[in-house]
């Protein structure tokens, strides 16, 4: 009977360990709502469109997927940016794959540094899409939990 009890405990322990690994591998999920950038009189006519994105952080790897629609000209590039401060635009840290159209998808995967992971957890990373007529950025969204 003692051997059966140890075997059952071992099987249960392995099951719990596997469940823990599965949960750890599922990562932390972040979401972004992509909307038009703040505009000045010169760029305002070209700023239109919406989108959404999800990002999963597993360890230091961030995997991003999303979609957008309603741009007034075709998307040219998409990037992951790091904010200078909360809500303040900052430098691009990684290029994303984007559909070269007025609507489509964005995706990408990047290994973040430890400071970038901390910035993500504090709401300091965002996605920005540029278009033919708005090369400084047309829509963007902050990655938040």
Q: How does the average pLDDT of the chain come out, rounded?
A: 84
Q: For 17-71, how does the pLDDT look when each residue is reduced to its tens digit (9 = 90+)?
A: 444 444 445 799 999 999 997 666 565 777 899 999 999 999 999 999 999 999 9
pLDDT for the residue numbered 85? 73
Q: What structural domains does the chain harbor?
A: 27-142 (2.60.40.200)
pLDDT above 60 (res 12): no
Judging by DSSP bridges, how do beta strands 75-82 and 50-58 pair with one another? Answer: unpaired
Q: Of the ranges 14-28, 85-99, 115-129, which is most confident?
A: 115-129
Which of the pair, 135 or 43, is modelled with greater confidence? 135
Task: Name 130's bridge partners.
Answer: 77
pLDDT tops 60 at residue 89:
yes
């Amino acid at each position: 009977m003692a051997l059966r009890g140890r075997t059952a405990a071992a099987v249960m322990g392995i099951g719990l360990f596997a469940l823990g690994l599965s949960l750890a591998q599922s990562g932390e999920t972040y979401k972004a709502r992509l909307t038009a950038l703040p505009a000045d009189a010169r760029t305002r006519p070209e700023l239109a469109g919406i989108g959404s994105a999800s990002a999963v952080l597993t360890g230091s790897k961030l995997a991003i997927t999303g979609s957008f629609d309603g741009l007034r000209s075709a998307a040219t590039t998409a990037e992951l940016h790091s904010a200078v401060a909360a809500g303040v635009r900052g430098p691009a840290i990684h290029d994303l794959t984007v559909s070269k159209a007025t609507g489509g998808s964005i995706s990408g995967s990047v290994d973040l540094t430890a400071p970038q992971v901390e910035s993500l957890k504090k709401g300091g990373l965002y996605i920005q899409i540029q278009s033919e007529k708005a090369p400084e950025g047309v829509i963007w969204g902050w990655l938040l939990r």
